[in-house]
Amino acid sequence: MRTKPTPAKPAPRLIIVVEQMKDWPDTAAPYQIVTAAQFLASSGHAAAPGTTVINLCRSYKYLSVGYYCSLLGEARGQVVLPSVKTINDLSRKAIYTLDTEELDFVLNQSLDHPDHRFMPVEFSLDIYFGTTEYTPLAPLARQIFETFPAPLMRVEFTREEDWKIGAIRVQNISTLSDAQLAQGRDALRTIEQAPMPAAAPTKPYRYHIAILHDPEEELAPSNQQALKAFIDMGRKMALDVTLIEKKDFSRLAEFDALFIRETTAINHHTYLFAKKAESEGMVVIDDSMSILRCTNKVYLADLLRMHDIPTPRTHTLQRADLQDIGAIERDIGYPMVMKIPDGAFSRGVTKVANAEEFQQTATALLNQSAFILVQEYMFTDFDWRIGVLNRKAIFASKYFMSKNHWQIAKRDAGGQAEFGAASAVRLDEVPPQLLAHAVAAANLIGDGLYGVDMKMTARGPVVIEVNDNPNIDAGNEDSVLGDAMYRIVLGDIVRRLDLAHGLVVHVEECASE
């Protein structure tokens, strides 16, 4: 009698990621438990898109191993708790308090009972997967989890005239007691998918657009002439375009939209401005999710790879990988390029010519980040930059290498940068295949404003990276379109505002002018 073949074992629906297996002792678990190292290196079940990943690493600090587990899980198309957005939201009180006003209201309703008259003015609550042992605050615990979907949290409450949330902290799993771990395991077994909160409705306004800039920034995304062009074009379009700075944070609610023309970063006020503007229901370019996705090259490398976007041959490197670099040397060969994940304007990018330079440079960069990128060196006379807005290409430029240097930007010992020439190109003069890959790469990030850096090589176009804050400088990127460049960008902001307000008016984008 022929036996039926054993069906292939399906990929696990749920994966727990820990830094050490002893952190989550659950031998009877109905899910897979893997170490962070296994998860990050995995190309099998732990990397399967659609899998739910519970990241229980000991730290989610920016650029830590825990941070990368969430970052790369999302790049693989997995549902990750906590997400990178949640990690960054909870990293600073100034960010998460933007979303706690309604939670404070629920807190006061929950404690408005004679039984709670003699509670201390300060107390804390452990929330594991949206559950708590303190029954009166169980609905609030669930709502906090829905707002900030982190597996293990401790929330601190304080009372002055009214109760309010004083702090929200993610818990280090290695510090939990056996009883707390048991409580966490019980909570996990009953977890349901946490719904994301609906976006706050916006109110109809006359359109006022704020442009965030830093007049002292040396390498700003838009020069002073371009900023003036945005203001002048705004007047022609009946828009009030106002330049604001870091000190104007408290004024954000005066505006309908925020356009960031200052170099963005996660640990920076530009990200806080984006989050605040979004919490006010404003249209935002760059939106906070685009900043999160574009400012980390490790995330981008994995995202582009997962979607078959052509890139240079790339490896991610951890400190443990320095013991054996043979596979990288055989795949890429010297020279190679090393990058820290969140460098900008050629900062943190180094070319290495041999194994000795590899070890020295990698050791130095790994002191700054738990991960770095190693890529093949691809020389071209110039790089392409394709500007993409709302999923369409709007401009193209050639950025030439600086004199006697292999990069666009050449830095001296003091950090001053010298740039090669830039030349705008008509879109119909761009190789069609290069243009198509640029738009496809940008669309993986979102529908905002992006600059896709590319090279045209013997094997075809390759994407180097996607920038969330591309340069639009007068005399460079606008030299083909002229005033139409500024009308296109502002017109798309108006389109988004019209859609948000339920209007049917549309602004035509006249890229051909």
DSSP letter for each residue of 428-495: GGS-HHHHHHHHHHHHHH-SSEEEEEEEEETTEEEEEEEESS----TTTTTTTTTHHHHHHHHHHHHH
Question: Has residue 289 been placed in a domain?
Answer: yes
Q: In terms of domains, do 442 and 370 share one?
A: no
Give the ranges where 50-100 is alpha helix by DSSP (H). Answer: 65-75, 84-89, 93-96
Q: In terms of domains, do 79 and 96 share one?
A: no
Question: Has residue 97 been placed in a domain?
Answer: yes
The helix/strand count (H/E) of the chain reads as 15, 22
Q: How far is CA 403 from CA 218, 352, 411, in A?
A: 20, 20, 11
What does the pLDDT look like over 360-381, one tens digit per residue?
Answer: 999 999 998 888 899 999 888 8
Three-state SS at 372: strand
Res 345: pLDDT: 52
Q: What whole-number distance in Å separates Cα of residue 352 and Cα of residue 361?
A: 8
Unique residue bearing structure tokens 């010992």: 413
Q: How far is CA 418 from CA 183, 277, 403, 410, in A?
A: 58, 34, 9, 5
Question: Has residue 173 been placed in a domain?
Answer: yes
Last residue of a domain, which of 262, 293, 324? 293
CATH, residue 255: 3.40.50.20
φ and ψ at residue 47, rounded to 5 degrees? -105, 5
Q: In terms of domains, do 110 and 141 share one?
A: yes
CATH, residue 42: 3.40.250
Q: In terms of domains, do 84 and 94 share one?
A: no
Q: In terms of domains, do 80 and 137 share one?
A: no
- Domain of residue 333 covers 313-376
Q: Are 23 and 50 in contact (CB under 8 A)?
A: no
φ and ψ at residue 69, rounded to 5 degrees? -60, -45
Q: In terms of domains, do 494 and 386 share one?
A: yes
Last residue of a domain, which of 137, 161, 189? 189
Q: How far is CA 62 from CA 65, 66, 73, 266, 274, in A?
A: 9, 9, 15, 9, 18
Q: In terms of domains, do 98 and 165 share one?
A: yes
Q: In terms of domains, do 392 and 474 share one?
A: yes
Q: In terms of domains, do 69 and 97 share one?
A: no
Question: Has residue 305 been placed in a domain?
Answer: no
Q: Which of 367, 370, 392, 389 is nearest to 494 (CA)?
A: 389
φ and ψ at residue 32, rounded to 5 degrees? -90, 140
Unique residue bearing structure tokens 């054996």: 324
Helix (H) or strand (E) holding 351: strand 349-352
Unique residue bearing structure tokens 């062009």: 229
Question: Has residue 112 been placed in a domain?
Answer: yes
φ and ψ at residue 237, rounded to 5 degrees? -100, 15
Q: In terms of domains, do 458 and 348 share one?
A: no
Res 204: pLDDT: 38
Q: Which neighbouring-strand residues pair with 243?
A: 211
Res 62: pLDDT: 85
What the block records as the tokens of 394 is 């709007």
pLDDT by residue, tens only, the chain of 513 residues: 444 444 444 445 789 999 999 999 887 777 889 999 999 987 676 777 888 899 999 999 988 999 999 999 998 889 999 998 899 889 888 888 888 888 999 998 888 876 666 678 889 999 999 999 988 899 999 999 999 999 999 999 998 888 899 999 999 999 999 999 999 988 888 764 444 334 334 333 368 999 999 999 988 999 999 999 999 999 999 999 999 999 999 889 889 999 999 999 998 999 999 999 999 999 999 999 999 999 888 899 999 999 999 999 999 899 989 988 999 999 999 999 998 887 665 566 889 999 999 999 999 999 988 888 999 998 888 899 999 999 999 999 998 865 554 455 554 555 555 566 788 999 999 999 999 999 999 999 999 999 999 999 999 999 999 999 999 999 999 999 999 999 999 999 999 999 988 875 444 443 333
Q: What sign results for the dihedral spanned by CA atoms 46, 48, 54, 55? A: positive
Question: Has residue 58 been placed in a domain?
Answer: yes
Q: In terms of domains, do 124 and 220 share one?
A: no
**pTM for the whole thing?**
0.78
Distance of CA 254 to the CA centre of its chain: 26
Q: Are 141 and 125 in contact (CB under 8 A)?
A: yes
Q: What whole-number distance in Å separates Cα of residue 377 and Cα of residue 392?
A: 29
Lay out the sheet containing 422-425: strands in order across. 422-425, 392-400, 382-389, 449-457, 460-467
Question: Has residue 203 been placed in a domain?
Answer: no
Last residue of a domain, which of 65, 88, 111? 88
Q: In terms of domains, do 488 and 388 share one?
A: yes
Res 416: pLDDT: 57
Three-state SS at 40: helix
Question: Has residue 8 been placed in a domain?
Answer: no
Helix (H) or strand (E) holding 169: strand 163-170
Indicate the number of domains in the chain: 5
